[in-house]
Amino acid sequence: MSKERRDFCIECRKETEYTLQKKDIIKNIKDKDYNFSITVAVCTECGEEMSVPGLMDKNIREIDEQYREAEGLISIDDIERFMKIYNIGKGPLSLAIGFGEVTIPRYLEGQVPSKEYSDIIKSAISSPEYMKKKLIENRERITDTAYRKAYNAAVSMERLFSVSDNMLRVIAYIFKKLEEVTPLMLQKLLYFTQGVYLALYRKPIFVEDCRAWVHGPVYPEVYELFRDFKYNPIDDARFALLSGMEDTLKANEKKVIELVVNTFGIYSGKALEKITHNESPWKEARIGYGESIPSNELLSKDQIMNYYIQTNNKYGIDTEDGLRRYIHDMLNNIF
């Protein structure tokens, strides 16, 4: 049940219900006009704006966020993610990237950074190589423990960029759409995404090659990224770097990922593994191998494409209904 919104309206001179609406305003900051969209409370009886508790603070946050976006400045949330990614406190982080010790703490309290300092922070977030360079330059300013933890985190971050940009975009979109994803589940969703995309558009959505491992199709580079999570849901601070990266996916790429996530994505990793074990590309690649014998046979993009073209001809996998029928049949071993 939604919470009733009521407060005192000075126009009606009584307590009334109100609704929250968006209002566009123009505000001058440093001799420059900006258009902001803020939240206002509107009385349902007289239609006038009302002053309600907490709304002024919300408006300040809204203006701050929109101003930073308009000027290309780092957000407070991004700075907090920065600290988490590199496993370092706000004071040591400030020193590590060449600032004064209280600079990052002030930014976290709401002070707006200059464009120069904002760009340095953005560069350190987006480039582990740049962060390592900054750490080395400012080695003597921080403790051995802080340096070692941040440097090791930067090395780990570099592994994230061992895969193609579009692979990262696809992973980022899968993570955005699903609350929990295990490494096994992620591998299978990537495989199905590639298969459906190949069938519908006759070209790959990412360049990485797939291998036939014991537990189904696997992208080895992605396996290395998340092997530490084993069978647990992936909770990786490094993916803060990918926030918004999915926005650069093409419309047809997003469409395919959504098709896969909305159908295959409701099943566990083990159920998805069972589906791939009933598909001819994996079965043919595993010919001659015992059930638990490791293999690293290539599942070529042509093999995957041809199989999913046939699947599309039979089920119509360009729709969720078609994919659901396919999944149902595969789980019941009657393909």
Flag whether pLDDT at 2 surpasses 60.
no
Residue 175 vs residue 318, higher pLDDT: 318
Residue 244 vs residue 268, higher pLDDT: 268
Rg (the chain; Cα; Å): 25
At 246 the pLDDT is: 73
Q: Which of 99, 97, 83, 105 is nearest to 135 (CA)?
A: 97
Q: Which of 23, 14, 20 is nearest to 42 (CA)?
A: 20
Using DSSP's 3-state secondary structure scheme, residue 286 falls into coil
At 30 the pLDDT is: 87
When the pLDDT of each residue in the chain is averaged and rounded to a whole number, the result is 90
Flag whether pLDDT at 241 surpasses 80.
no
In a domain, residue 191? The reply is yes
Say if residue 136 is in the same domain as residue 245: no
C-alpha–C-alpha distance, residues 218 and 213, integer Å: 6
Flag whether pLDDT at 270 surpasses 60.
yes
Say if residue 213 is in the same domain as residue 297: yes
Confidence of residue 237 (pLDDT cuts 50, 70, 90): low
Say if residue 157 is in the same domain as residue 170: no
C-alpha–C-alpha distance, residues 257 and 53, integer Å: 42
Flag whether pLDDT at 126 surpasses 80.
no
Amino acid identity at 44: T
Where among 161, 189, 219 does a domain terminate? 161
At 238 the pLDDT is: 59
Where among 15, 43, 71 does a domain terminate? 71
**Structural domain of residue 28, as residue ranges?**
6-71
Say if residue 150 is in the same domain as residue 296: no
Mean pLDDT of 112-139: 91
What is the CATH number for 63?
Answer: 3.10.20
Say if residue 301 is in the same domain as residue 328: yes
C-alpha–C-alpha distance, residues 172 and 297, integer Å: 27
Burial class (CB in 10 A: 0-12, 13-18, 19+), 231: exposed
Confidence of residue 335 (pLDDT cuts 50, 70, 90): very low
In a domain, residue 154? The reply is yes
Flag whether pLDDT at 173 surpasses 70.
yes
Flag whether pLDDT at 35 surpasses 80.
yes
Confidence of residue 242 (pLDDT cuts 50, 70, 90): low
Confidence of residue 231 (pLDDT cuts 50, 70, 90): low
Flag whether pLDDT at 19 surpasses 80.
yes
Say if residue 63 is in the same domain as residue 126: no
In a domain, residue 126? The reply is yes
Burial class (CB in 10 A: 0-12, 13-18, 19+), 193: buried
Flag whether pLDDT at 334 surpasses 70.
no
C-alpha–C-alpha distance, residues 51 and 99, integer Å: 40
At 157 the pLDDT is: 76
Say if residue 177 is in the same domain as residue 217: yes
Mean pLDDT of 188-200: 98
At 175 the pLDDT is: 87
Of the ranges 160-174, 183-197, 215-229, which is most confident? 183-197
Mean pLDDT of 289-296: 93
Confidence of residue 1 (pLDDT cuts 50, 70, 90): very low
C-alpha–C-alpha distance, residues 104 and 306, integer Å: 54
In a domain, residue 203? The reply is yes
In a domain, residue 1? The reply is no
In a domain, residue 297? The reply is yes
Confidence of residue 302 (pLDDT cuts 50, 70, 90): very high
Say if residue 181 is in the same domain as residue 152: no
Say if residue 61 is in the same domain as residue 85: no
C-alpha–C-alpha distance, residues 268 and 172, integer Å: 19
Say if residue 247 is in the same domain as residue 318: yes
In a domain, residue 118? The reply is yes
Position of tokens 């464009």? 115
At 46 the pLDDT is: 96
In a domain, residue 119? The reply is yes
Say if residue 226 is in the same domain as residue 149: no
Q: Which token pair is 22?
A: 């968006």
Give the tens place of pLDDT for each residue, 92-104.
999 999 999 999 9
Where among 161, 186, 215 does a domain terminate? 161
> How many domains, in total, are found in the chain?
3
Over pLDDT 70: what percentage of the chain? 93
C-alpha–C-alpha distance, residues 157 and 85, integer Å: 8
Give the tens place of pLDDT for each residue, 128-143.
889 999 999 999 999 9
- In our burial notation (b when 16+ CB lie closer than 10 A, e otherwise), range 6-26 reads eeebeeeeeebebeeeeeeee
Say if residue 149 is in the same domain as residue 182: no
